[in-house]
Structure 1
Amino acid sequence: MKTRARACLFVTSLFVTACSQQDRVAVATPAVAPVADAFQREHAAWVRERAADLGKPDGWISLIGLHWIEPGTHSVGGGEENAIHLAIAPDRLGQVEQRADGLYFQPTEGVPITADGTPLHGELKLTPEGAGGGTKLEYDGGKGQITAIKRGQRLALRVRHADAPARLAFHGLDFFPADPDWRVQAHFVPHPAGRTLPIASVIGTVTDTPNPGYVTFEKKGREWRLEALGDPEKGLNLMFQDQTTGKLSYGVGRYLHTDPVAADGTVVVDFNRAYNPPCAYTDYATCPLPPPENRLAWQHGNGQRERLAVLAGEKKYALAKH
């Protein structure tokens, strides 16, 4: 019996069918199934976490407005007479003024508003969103939220509300079936220090963004390349378009974040975790666009272009209205 078991293990590793099907299952399946099951569980957990993050009371789908501010003083509130009309808010929330040194907010007397958790009773200069955070105004008992953003030289109020129709209608996301074959081993090639890449946005701004290098990977018998943003020691940010863009996946493209690059330059690019930018869910986002270099296209000698279809990651958002 021991001799038969050893022989069956040997021929199974060579894909020989001399042993019975029952013997092969007994030897081969336990080594493969746990790995595949773990991959599926991890991916499902990641998808749930992403959907939960989008669906938070202050997630991207809670956006109800993006209001660009001109110099001067402007009334803010839910009433139609306000210069800045909010979709969900008390009739008169306050007023905002753009001055040479920034944006200031003055609440309407008697309307409860907090600034970073503290009741606001007088004028306050708003710090725009950024790496260090930013001023957060809250109203409607915390359900409404206003922050300032700066894009180039322009300032705007970004408004969220927990009762946003898009949030109330949100019931999850649609992904391609998780496939381990789309979890590819890539190689990071660094650029000379200080290199930048011009990144355009959906609102027309262009920002020179640090571009530390690019990744190469093989798929469908060819080598493909994606320019990377971010910090290799913390993880790369990849923005790309592929053959599914505008068809099965979002028309602007998709984003992907990797783990840190290993000391030998290798990095795993898991296309199963490619996700839509915020502008897939709302008209009030200012998303960066994938650079032309990241269209995952192969130039043939005859001038024809072959595009890679990434049948992995997040699909189009079904409830998008824009």
Structure 2
Amino acid sequence: MTIQDVDRMSFAEEWERWHRAHEQALADPHGFLAITSLHWLSPEPTRFEDAPGAWSSGPEGVVVELADGEELTIDGTAVHGRYVFGAITERDSLYAGYGDAAIEIAKRGGHDIVRPRHPGNPLRTAFTHTPAYAPDPRWVRRGRYLPFDEPRAITVGAVAEGLEHVYDSPGQVEFELEDGETFRLTAFNGKRPGSLMVLLTDATSGVTTYAANRSLQIEAPDDAGRVTLDFNRATNLPCAYTDLATCPLPPAENRLPIAVEAGERIPLERGGRP
């Protein structure tokens, strides 16, 4: 066995560990696969089958009115009657306990929503895995971070009709393929301080990968602005599995004309191949 073979095996094993952890988080008892409904709140108190109370959104923010015998648990404390969650910040989520379920209270695209998450949801209990391309080191590309002078507010569409998301973009990421062709992607802030995230589609979208979007996390640039784009770690967003999501769409410049045959493919739940 050559050193190159060993390196490829180590690369594949590391990717397998990462993807296994990613899928465990996806299948969490209160993860996105556990969502049973999506409710857009209005000033009129409304009851839902999969959550206690009558929910509304108004000048006080999100309010729930629990009937006699109904209870939610918030930060470990049981609450009854009328409870005011207050104003929710865009893209933030709060969670209230309800038996073995979690009730998500959030704001998306300027609208307050409630999304109950029940561990017994069939989408979650039937989940096995997400198909993905075999990890290939050639899809690890070195790139350059090109920061803007000031962060720019970028408006993108959403999978939910009529909804828009606004993200602050700190800059762009430029990378080349083996043939020297250069591409530039608009980046948003990533999960960790200093890290980046890009939303993208490519020529595989709607063919072997989910049509609307995929996401790629990028570690923070080094002191010289160098970054690494590992397209093997391009992942599906929640909307790839459920219609009860409000995922953003990539900005126009992030729709690559090439086929990125790496990362996660169309989920089995959407008709993808094993």
TM-score after normalising by structure 1? 0.77
Compared CA separation, residues 132 and 182, structure 1 to 2 (3 A): closer
The structural deviation recorded for 1:208 is 3.5
On the 8 A contact 1:273/1:313 being kept in 2, the answer is: yes
The structural deviation recorded for 1:136 is 1.9
- 1:271 paired residue among 231, 235, 240: 231
Deviation sequence 1:272-300 (CA, Å, 0-9, x none): 0000111111111110111111111xxxx
Say yes or no: does 1:41 pair with 2:13. Answer: yes
- 2:28 paired residue among 52, 56, 70: 56
Counterpart residue identity of residue 28, structure 2: K
* Whole-Å separation in 2 of the counterparts to 1:119 and 1:314: 40
* Counterpart residue number, 1:260: 220
Counterpart residue identity of residue 151, structure 2: G
Counterpart residue identity of residue 85, structure 1: E
* Whole-Å separation in 1 of the counterparts to 2:60 and 2:147: 39
The structural deviation recorded for 1:46 is 0.7
On the 8 A contact 1:127/1:148 being kept in 2, the answer is: no
Secondary structure of 2:33's counterpart equals helix
Equivalent positions of 1:293-304 (< 5 A) are: 293-296=253-256
Deviation sequence 1:234-257 (CA, Å, 0-9, x none): 211111110000000001021000
* Counterpart residue number, 1:190: 147
Deviation sequence 1:68-99 (CA, Å, 0-9, x none): 1121222x2xxxxxxx333xx6xxx2222333
On the 8 A contact 1:202/1:287 being kept in 2, the answer is: yes
Say yes or no: does 1:151 pair with 2:108. Answer: yes
Say yes or no: does 1:206 pair with 2:206. Answer: no
Compared CA separation, residues 289 and 134, structure 1 to 2 (3 A): closer
* Counterpart residue number, 2:270: 320
Say yes or no: does 1:247 pair with 2:207. Answer: yes
Secondary structure of 1:43's counterpart equals helix
Choose between structure 1 and 2: higher strand proportion.
Answer: 2
* Whole-Å separation in 2 of the counterparts to 1:308 and 1:104: 47
On the 8 A contact 1:126/1:134 being kept in 2, the answer is: no
The structural deviation recorded for 1:145 is 1.5
5+ unaligned residues in a row in structure 2: which ranges? none
By relative contact order (CA 8 Å, sep 6+), the higher-ranking structure is 2
Secondary structure of 2:18's counterpart equals helix
TM-score after normalising by structure 2? 0.90
On the 8 A contact 2:96/2:104 being kept in 1, the answer is: yes
* Whole-Å separation in 2 of the counterparts to 1:286 and 1:200: 10
Moved >4 Å (runs of 4+):
127-134
Q: Tell me how many residue pairs correspond in the alignment.
A: 268
- 1:117 paired residue among 60, 76, 81: 76
Deviation sequence 1:152-194 (CA, Å, 0-9, x none): 4422211110000100110111110000010111111122213
Compared CA separation, residues 244 and 287, structure 1 to 2 (3 A): same
* Counterpart residue number, 1:309: 259
* Counterpart residue number, 1:67: 39
* Counterpart residue number, 1:219: 177
Percent sequence identity is: 32
Give 1 or 2 for the bigger CA radius of gyration: 1
Compared CA separation, residues 250 and 133, structure 1 to 2 (3 A): closer
On the 8 A contact 1:215/1:226 being kept in 2, the answer is: yes
On the 8 A contact 2:108/2:165 being kept in 1, the answer is: no
5+ unaligned residues in a row in structure 1: which ranges? 1-24, 77-83, 297-306
Choose between structure 1 and 2: higher helix proportion.
Answer: 1
Cα RMSD, aligned residues only: 2.2
On the 8 A contact 1:95/1:106 being kept in 2, the answer is: yes
